[in-house]
Chains A and B, each alone.
Chain A
Amino acid sequence: MASSIEEVRKSVRLYLMVFGALGVLTIVTVLASSLNVSVAVGVFVALAIASVKGTLVATYFMHLLGERSTLYWVLILAAFFFLLLILIPVMMHSETVHLIDQVT
């Protein structure tokens, strides 16, 4: 964690760099979306860029990089359940629809 005065001073420059990166990535997302690619690729690219941006915010602005493992465990837990919550309903729904198609 950036706690000593010196470290804080140093990280200020870092923040500005991250800021620049975020700005550029935003522009890249917008540009990428106007490319003529398939929906799947488009979704992938957009979410990939968003994930990079999100990671930047979390690691630098939120100082996640300097935190201890306790916090990581909590967040990993939340992230895992997050994925589960997102994936299972969709998978289950697809399976049901498949079942219906099979018969009708």
Chain B
Amino acid sequence: MSSDHTHNPGFIRKYVFSVDHKVIGVQYAVTSLIFLFFGFSLMMIMRWQLAYPGDAIPLIGGWLGQYLVDNNGVLLPEGYNALGAMHGTIMVFLGVVPLAVGGFGNYVMPLQIGAPDMAFPRLNMASYWVYVLGGIAMLASFFVPGGAANSGWTSYPPLSVIANVDNAHHFWNGQTIWLLGMVLLITSSLLGSVNFIVTIVHLRVKGLTMFRLPFFVWAQLVTSFLLLLAFPPLEAAGVLQLMDRAFDTSFFMPTGLVVSGVVRDEYAGGGSPLLWQHLFWFLAHPEVYVLILPALGIIGEIIANNTRRPLWGYKTLVYSVVFLGFMSFVVWAHHMFLTGMGTTMSNFFQTTTMIISIPSVVILTAMLLSLWNASIRFNVPMLFALSFLPMFAIGGLTGLPLGLSASDIQLHDTYYVIGHFHYVVAPGTIMALFAGIYFWFPKVTGRKMSTLLGHLHFWPTLLFMNVIFGPMLIIGLRGVSRRLWDQTEYVLGAEVQGWTVMSSWGAWMLGLSQLPFIINFFYSAVAGKKSVENPWKATTLEWAAPSPPPHGNFAEVPVVYRGPYEYSVPGAKEDFQPQHLSDAKLS
């Protein structure tokens, strides 16, 4: 590779088209945080319609444009569907994954293995910019005729294939752009995952064996394999759906469709709507573990650091994560129990689903056991990390009734599912991501975040997350379908409308509770208290580099002498033994 960035690069080279993993990591993090907030805002709009069906959206109702609202500012049903589909897509593919993998992975992982950069720095830059392109495509789709994609984040055909097409026969409509955007996002993730795996396997410093890797790095490694092998099928599926839309092929279109009384014989027929679901869930189930594994990694780091003792059962944790990753490829059809599955397949998939819950139980148990005989410091990152445990437990446990095909008959596609997975991704993963931000902020900026604002952020966030998602479990048990513009249409929905109103208020309050964080984030970055190299007295390698680390990361290449979590070693002078200090230096 060219050496043109050895001498002082210009501003653009340094901050925009940078190949430095740290700059790219920060770019990823900030971009994805903005997307997270945007995706959340879409949901705050939807929650108005859910709480007060048919009422004009206050304040912004008039601004949302003809594809989302009617003349009075009431959210249209198709607008509701578009916001829902885009909320799901944005949160998963533009928010959490880029933040957890692109942001934290890129910034922290090379530091933790003592590498000067990622194995392929320019590829890394390419990943980021392809991701940005995908994001721009998704945003642009709000403005094309017919508005954004509105067939759910799952985009099930035939609905998604016929969606928007007859809306003035535009090829450039929301669903097409959604597909193109997805292809870009998938490509970005693929490039990234290759880079991550090579970096982790090849660029570890001397002494850093695989079983001395911080848990976070293991989580990233497994995550990368999930991305590498699960994403391509969706890419293929995306191409097939694009062909169905553009060339009237019928990969997903069965023979004899009649839409609104019109026989759709432009499609040759003979396709299978379920094919899409297989290809989609082959990606999307591993994808949900992509959402949780980096979070578990972050939690592991923070818990070890703030309990001041080694993570309980490090090897068990590693094996569990690897097993979890493997199993996540063989459970996908538990999203398809009600597509007409027979007994053999359903037994296979409910069994694998029960099996996959075991490593999660083991991981959570290990984290909980790490608290025993600890000396727990309740700083802000730790608060977020601790709250993750019971929240993930609720989310994970509510996965079990969904995983048994018999109980899934009642719960499938109800708010119970929504409640289940939000407990894992929102009070779960999002809390973990917040924890990570508070934890590594001093490393990235050289400054600490305000503790007071941190508390003002943490407590209401934890409270309102539960106010939002707790009621959903109840609503779902009562039998209310998801994706309903107005649940009071149904007897069962009308009965529990009160819970829905409560959930909406929770969402808006949660929105308000993010203000302290946003202020904290920007204020502390420029004017926070200066931080030392290793403010948390941590052991892993990233804390051996200056804060913020310079280009090339380490003044001299570190050597690793021990495992990642040597806290409170009996007889040692200090209660932590950094990985890079030899025994001689420590005594």
Contact = CB atoms under 8 A, between A and B. Distances in A.
A96 B282 CA distance: 19
A88 interface: yes
Contacts of B344: 91, 95
A12 interface: no
Contact of B330 (A84, A92, A95, A96): A84
A85 interface: yes
A81 to B, nearest CB: 5
A96 B345 CA distance: 10
Nearest to A89: B278
A92 B201 CA distance: 37
A70 B221 CA distance: 14
Interface in A36-93: 70, 77-78, 81, 84-85, 88-89, 91-93
A98 B272 contact: no
A85 B340 contact: no
A81 B226 CA distance: 11
B341 interface: yes
Interface residues of A, number: 16
Contact of B229 (A70, A78, A96, A98): A78
B47 to A, nearest CB: 37
Nearest to A98: B342
B345 A92 contact: yes
Contacts of B330: 84
Contacts of B278: 85, 88-89, 92
Given A84-B329, A92-B333, A99 B229 contact: no
Contacts, number: 41
Contacts of A93: 272, 274
Interface string B495-523: 00000000000000000000000000000
B463 interface: no
B341 A89 contact: no
Contacts of A91: 344-345
Interface string B269-287: 0001011001000100000
Interface in B189-226: 201, 225
A68 to B, nearest CB: 12
Contacts of A77: 225, 229, 326
B233 interface: yes
Given A84-B330, A88-B333, A89-B274, A95 B229 contact: no
Interface in B223-257: 225, 229, 233
Contacts of A89: 274-275, 278
A81 B229 contact: yes
Contact of A95 (B233, B272, B336, B342): B342
Given A77-B225, A88-B345, A92-B274, 15 more contacts: A77-B229, A85-B278, A91-B344, A92-B333, A93-B274, A95-B341, A95-B342, A95-B344, A95-B345, A96-B339, A96-B341, A96-B342, A98-B342, A99-B342, A100-B340
A14 B315 CA distance: 45
Given A85-B282, A89-B274, A92-B345, A99 B340 contact: yes
Nearest to A94: B342
A95 to B, nearest CB: 4
5 contacts: A70-B201, A77-B326, A92-B336, A93-B272, A96-B341
A75 B122 CA distance: 26
Contact of B341 (A81, A85, A92, A100): A92
Interface in B295-352: 326, 329-330, 333, 336, 339-342, 344-345
Nearest to B225: A77
Contacts of B340: 96, 99-100
Given A88-B278, A89-B278, A81 B342 contact: no
A80 B275 CA distance: 19
Contacts of A95: 341-342, 344-345
Contacts of A85: 233, 278, 282
A78 B336 CA distance: 23
A84 to B, nearest CB: 7
A52 B229 CA distance: 25
Nearest 10 A/B pairs, CB to CB: A95-B342, A96-B340, A89-B278, A92-B345, A99-B342, A81-B329, A95-B345, A81-B229, A85-B282, A95-B344
A87 B364 CA distance: 34
Contacts of B336: 92
Contacts of A78: 229
B243 to A, nearest CB: 18
A70 B340 CA distance: 40
A91 B347 CA distance: 13
Contacts of A96: 339-342
B417 to A, nearest CB: 21
Nearest to B339: A96
A88 B332 CA distance: 10
Nearest to B278: A89
A92 B342 CA distance: 7
A96 B274 CA distance: 11
Contacts of B282: 85
Contacts of A84: 329-330
A67 to B, nearest CB: 14
Contacts of B339: 96
Nearest to A91: B345
Contacts of B333: 88, 92
A91 B333 CA distance: 12
Contacts of A92: 274, 278, 333, 336, 341-342, 345
Contacts of A70: 201
Interface string A1-44: 00000000000000000000000000000000000000000000
A104 to B, nearest CB: 13
A89 B229 CA distance: 17
Nearest to B348: A88
A102 B330 CA distance: 28
Nearest to B344: A95
Interface in B344-397: 344-345
A102 to B, nearest CB: 9
A89 B342 CA distance: 12
